Amino acid sequence: MGGMAPDASRERSTPSLAFRAAQRRGICLWLLALLLLCAACSVGPRYSRPSAPIPPAYKETPENWKLAQPADQALKGNWWEIYQDPQLNALEEKIAVSNQSLKAAQEQFLQARAIVGENRSQYYPTATVGASASRNRLSKNRPLLGATTDYTDLNLPVDVSYEFDVWGRVRRSVEAARAQEQATASDVQSLSLSLHAELAMDYFSARALDAETELLHSTVKAYEKALQLTENRFRGGVASQVDVTQAETQLETTRAQALDLGVQRAQYEHAIAVLTGEPASAFTLPPAPLKAAPPVIPPGLPAQLLERRPDIASSERLIAAANAQIGIARAAYFPSLTLNASGGFEGTTITNWLTGPSGFAAAGLSAAELVFDAGRRRAVSDQARAAYHQAVANYRGDVLTAFQEVEDNLAALRILEQEASTQDAAVRAAEHSLSLSNNRYRGGVANYLEVITAQSAALSDERAAVQISGRRMVDSVLLIKALGGGWAISSLPTTTQNAPGKASPTGQ
């Protein structure tokens, strides 16, 4: 009997140990399942793009702008090629390579992309490794002193810490950073569009001045002939000294006007130099009078504008970032759950430092909840919600401004086309009037004042026609800019794509 008791005790204890082991495994599995379930939760509102007022059609689109082959005229990445000007194309290509403002914006995008990586790192645990070695001597008069007073302590600890993303704080942080990254990428494209448009406008303005200068130079030659004729008539006793003086005044005034255009022409040339990344002193734009008419520009549908404007895309992405910030602020109301673990080796000599008996390990799970913050979390949450509503208002305002810019330039092109036709008729009438006045003066029927009046009217109308031509080209560039150029929202980068300005400087 006495010999069988220990065996029976062991038999009874074996199921109890197995049951407790299974119970521990079950608890661990339930805990793991609970953590996985909590990890799938994210507090805060789901994001959806806010609504914006979109008209069914552009009011200022005339019927005669319908295209026979819209696919051939559609705005593409290098939208300036629609003007078919090789020199303009060459200048525009330099912006992506040499413009310093665009380079600065691209580096800002890289900063935003790095912030995404910084936030994504919170998905993983952090680990630190250290090493220490010390030689210690204890006081012999120390209470409870052991046998050893001199010893060496060699320590190689490894500490691991991981905060479970139970309430989605990390996921919301990554979501906000990614939206900010995409907004910054849109800002790069918006700046690129503005720089390319500014260069095209400066270029066509300079070309319009070249045309106006050419007109004035040809007018000067005509006035020189008129002055010579008047002087001949004066020497013949047919004309008076007053006529000669009036002809000289008209000639010199026109020469001064031609010289005055050189100031604006030089300023446009210098502006183009800066845009292309060259010193103004080393850049020259050879004169070439503007001869082309603005191309037909397809505005598309108003609903497409939200997909084609990078500034609108930036505003929308800022809303997404603000929405994620609401979730981050909301997660602060819930407790944090952290796993801490440490291990390593500790010994007294090199020989036993990294052996099995010298190893140590510890692990623990902790939870913490902030119970009083004097309203700080509520204030942060209110701030996040107000920032979200501010971003929504900015987005809707940007949409309204975008439609205004498109309508403004559509109206400008339509009206300027009509004005150009009317002005051409005025030029023809003024030239005919000048021809009649010259014939009357040569025949002795009219005085030279009538000729001067006709000359002034003809020159004024001709200059107005040239200026209208330049304005039409500039407004066509403004319309392309208002339509977003050749950009599309599908060009927004993801975290796995190259930064704009590296693989594709302007996202084209």
pLDDT category at 499 given cuts 50, 70, 90 is very low
On the question of pLDDT at 219 being above 70, the answer is yes
Nearest to 414 by CA among 296, 263, 272: 296
Higher per-residue confidence, 494 vs 20: 494
The rounded distance, in Å, linking the Cα atoms of 62 and 299 is 11
- Dump pLDDT digits (tens) for 392-446: 999 999 999 999 999 999 999 999 999 999 999 999 999 999 999 999 988 888 8
Say if 51 falls within a structural domain. yes
Residue 12, CB-side half-sphere exposure with 13 Å CA sphere: 6
Length in residues, the chain = 508
Tell me what pLDDT residue 111 has: 95
Reduce the DSSP state of residue 437 to 3 states and report it: helix
On the question of pLDDT at 72 being above 90, the answer is no
- Dump pLDDT digits (tens) for 257-298: 999 999 999 999 999 999 999 999 999 999 999 988 999 888
Say if 91 falls within a structural domain. yes
Show contacts of 348-355: CB within 8 Å, 24+ apart.
348/151, 348/152, 348/153, 348/154, 349/152, 349/154, 350/154, 353/154, 353/156, 354/156
The rounded distance, in Å, linking the Cα atoms of 122 and 369 is 20
- Number of domains within the chain: 1
Higher per-residue confidence, 140 vs 272: 272
The rounded distance, in Å, linking the Cα atoms of 362 and 382 is 41
| Domain CATH number, residue 444 | 1.20.1600.10
Which pTM value belongs to this model? 0.83
Say if 65 falls within a structural domain. yes
The segment with the largest mean pLDDT, out of 155-169, 204-218, 488-502, is 204-218
- Dump pLDDT digits (tens) for 443-458: 888 888 999 999 999 9
Taking residues 233-252, report their average pLDDT. Answer: 91
Tell me what pLDDT residue 145 has: 66
- Residue holding tokens 């690129």? 192
Reduce the DSSP state of residue 344 to 3 states and report it: strand
Tell me what pLDDT residue 507 has: 40
Q: What percent of the chain has pLDDT over 90?
A: 59
The rounded distance, in Å, linking the Cα atoms of 312 and 19 is 63
Taking residues 121-130, report their average pLDDT. Answer: 92
Taking residues 47-66, report their average pLDDT. Answer: 77
> Phi-psi bin for 284: left (phi > 0), alpha (psi -120 to 50), beta?
beta
Reduce the DSSP state of residue 496 to 3 states and report it: coil
Tell me what pLDDT residue 508 has: 37
Say if 359 falls within a structural domain. no
**DSSP annotation string for 43-67:** -SPPP-PPP----SS-TT--GGG--
* Residue 416 domain boundaries: 44-126+175-334+375-491
Average pLDDT, the chain: 86
The rounded distance, in Å, linking the Cα atoms of 318 and 391 is 6
The rounded distance, in Å, linking the Cα atoms of 355 and 74 is 74
Q: At what angle do helices 169-235 and 100-120 cross, to 10 degrees?
A: 170
Do the strands 126-129 and 132-137 form a parallel or antiparallel pair, or are they unpaired? unpaired
End-to-end CA, the chain:
93
Q: Around Cβ 71, how many Cβ atoms within 10 Å?
A: 7
Higher per-residue confidence, 216 vs 58: 216
Element (DSSP H or E) covering residue 237: none
Say if 154 falls within a structural domain. no
- Dump pLDDT digits (tens) for 87-109: 999 999 999 999 999 999 999 99
Tell me what pLDDT residue 421 has: 95
**186, 317 in Cβ contact below 8 A?**
yes
On the question of pLDDT at 62 being above 90, the answer is no
Tell me what pLDDT residue 41 has: 66
Position 266, amino acid: A
Say if 347 falls within a structural domain. no
The string over 411-437, giving b where at least 16 C-beta atoms fall within 10 Å of a residue's C-beta and e elsewhere, is ebbbebbebbeebeebbeebeebbeeb
Higher per-residue confidence, 251 vs 73: 251
Reduce the DSSP state of residue 190 to 3 states and report it: helix
pLDDT category at 21 given cuts 50, 70, 90 is low
The rounded distance, in Å, linking the Cα atoms of 507 and 77 is 8
Say if 358 falls within a structural domain. no
On the question of pLDDT at 475 being above 90, the answer is yes
Say if 222 falls within a structural domain. yes
Q: Worst-scoring range by mean pLDDT, 8-17, 172-181, 370-379?
A: 8-17
